[in-house]
Structure 1
Amino acid sequence: MPDITPVREDQTKQLVEVYSRAFFDDPVFTWIFPDVERRAEAHRRFFTVIVESTFASGGRALQIDDFSATSLFYPPSILPDGPDKAELIARLEDDLEDQAERAVAFMYLLNDNHPHDVPPHLYGTFLSTVPGSQGKGLGTKLKLAQFALADSEDAGVYGEASCLRNLRLYERLGQVRLGEAITLEGGPSLYPIWRPPASERSDSA
């Protein structure tokens, strides 16, 4: 069985490469970066900013099977809006230049819709498996590792599924829809998902 290991900050490039490949045809990211010829480079720039900002703010990442799948998240002890939003947005605008508008709108939309009336929680931002390694349960193992970490602190787990296929997977693992879908202007929707803390779940009895 492949081991789950923490991603070090000096492994940022490997982490960025996973997300750049895994989200290439994702409906949300095809809306953010519609120019297919420029999308790969835009992904590398976008995810470099996201990964570096996450680590700088106390976030963490896990990987499995030699970076076949990765998860990026903020532990329960870190506020969900941990990174300096103004700095993050400024970096996206600088690095993405004429492709920044939709990326910035996406980040603002996630921030504006992050729930503030739920218990302390782990915030899973990006979890993906590279093409060719999907269907092996690697993403599921990473999601369960997030659950275990949250349960160790009696915290919830929050995230957004970027497509209905992922939503169905997360629901099978015990998460539930939380509120309305988050819809990008003229584009696809994301689906907020939630797992209550162990002390609030019937399966923890």
Structure 2
Amino acid sequence: MPTISRVAEDRVDTLVDVYAQAFFDDPVFSWIFPDPERRAEANRRFFTVIVESTFAGGGLALQIEDFSAASLFYPPSVLPTAQDHADVLARLEKELDDQAERAVAFMNLLNDNHPRNLPPHLYGTYLSAVPGQQGKGLGTRLKMAQFALADGADAGVYGEASCLRNLALYERLGQIRLGEAITLEGGPSLYPIWRPQASKRAGKS
């Protein structure tokens, strides 16, 4: 059975490679970067900013099967601050130049729709397998690893599914829809998902 391991900060480039490939045909990133000839490089620039800022803000990453799949998240004790968000937007505008507008709109939409009244929770931001490794259960194992970390802190798990297929998978794993879909202007929707903390699932007060 492949082993899940934590990604060291000196493997940022490798992690960026995973996400740049994995999200190339994703409906959300096809909207953010509509020109397919420029999307690969734009994805790399976008995810370089996201991965570096996540690590700098105390976030973590896990990988499985020699970086066949990876998950990026903020643990329950650490969530991005308003200043973290502003810093990410500034970096995206600098790195993406004329391709920054939709990336910034996307990040603002996620930030504005992240519920402020949730109990302590792990925030899962990006989880995917590279092309050719999807459908093998690697993402499921990474998601379950997130659940285990959250349960250890009696925390919930929040995230956004970027398509209905991913939403169906997360629902099968025990997460539930939370509120309305988040719809990009003239583009696809994302679906907020939630898994209550262990004490709530056990029916405890």
TM-score with structure 1 setting the length: 0.97
Counting only pairs closer than 5 Å after superposition, residues 40-189 of structure 1 correspond to structure 2 as 40-81=40-81, 84-189=84-189
More displaced, 72-81 or 168-177?
72-81
CA distance, structure 1, for counterparts of residue 35 and residue 203 of structure 2:
46
8 Å contact kept, 1:167–1:191: yes
Opposite residue 4 of structure 1, the aligned amino acid is I
CA distance, structure 2, for counterparts of residue 175 and residue 66 of structure 1:
27
Flag the 1:100–1:77 CA change in 2: closer, same or farther, 3 A.
same
Task: Please state whether the residue corresponding to 1:79 is helix, strand or coil.
Answer: coil
Opposite residue 130 of structure 1, the aligned amino acid is V
CA distance, structure 1, for counterparts of residue 85 and residue 31 of structure 2:
22
CA distance, structure 2, for counterparts of residue 92 and residue 178 of structure 1:
28
More displaced, 94-103 or 79-88?
79-88
8 Å contact kept, 1:177–1:191: yes
CA distance, structure 2, for counterparts of residue 121 and residue 169 of structure 1:
20
8 Å contact kept, 2:57–2:80: no
8 Å contact kept, 1:157–1:195: yes
Task: Please state whether the residue corresponding to 1:84 is helix, strand or coil.
Answer: helix
Flag the 1:83–1:17 CA change in 2: closer, same or farther, 3 A.
farther
TM-score with structure 2 setting the length: 0.97
8 Å contact kept, 1:81–1:111: no
Opposite residue 20 of structure 2, the aligned amino acid is S
Please give the per-residue CA displacement for 1:155-177, whole angstroms capped at 9, x wherever unaligned.
00000000000000000000000
| Match in the other structure for 2:28 | 28
Q: CA deviation at 1:79?
A: 2.1
Please give the per-residue CA displacement for 1:83-102, whole angstroms capped at 9, x wherever unaligned.
61221111100000000000
8 Å contact kept, 2:159–2:193: yes
More displaced, 195-204 or 92-101?
195-204
Task: Please state whether the residue corresponding to 2:116 is helix, strand or coil.
Answer: coil
Task: Please state whether the residue corresponding to 1:118 is helix, strand or coil.
Answer: coil
8 Å contact kept, 1:54–1:83: no
CA distance, structure 2, for counterparts of residue 150 and residue 82 of structure 1:
23
Q: CA deviation at 1:72?
A: 0.1
Gaps of at least 5 residues in structure 1 are: none
Opposite residue 94 of structure 2, the aligned amino acid is D
| Match in the other structure for 1:9 | 9
RMSD: 1.2
Task: Please state whether the residue corresponding to 2:61 is helix, strand or coil.
Answer: strand
CA distance, structure 2, for counterparts of residue 118 and residue 86 of structure 1:
22
Corresponding pairs, count: 204
Opposite residue 30 of structure 1, the aligned amino acid is S
CA distance, structure 2, for counterparts of residue 85 and residue 135 of structure 1:
32
CA distance, structure 2, for counterparts of residue 203 and residue 128 of structure 1:
32
CA distance, structure 2, for counterparts of residue 2 and residue 60 of structure 1:
19
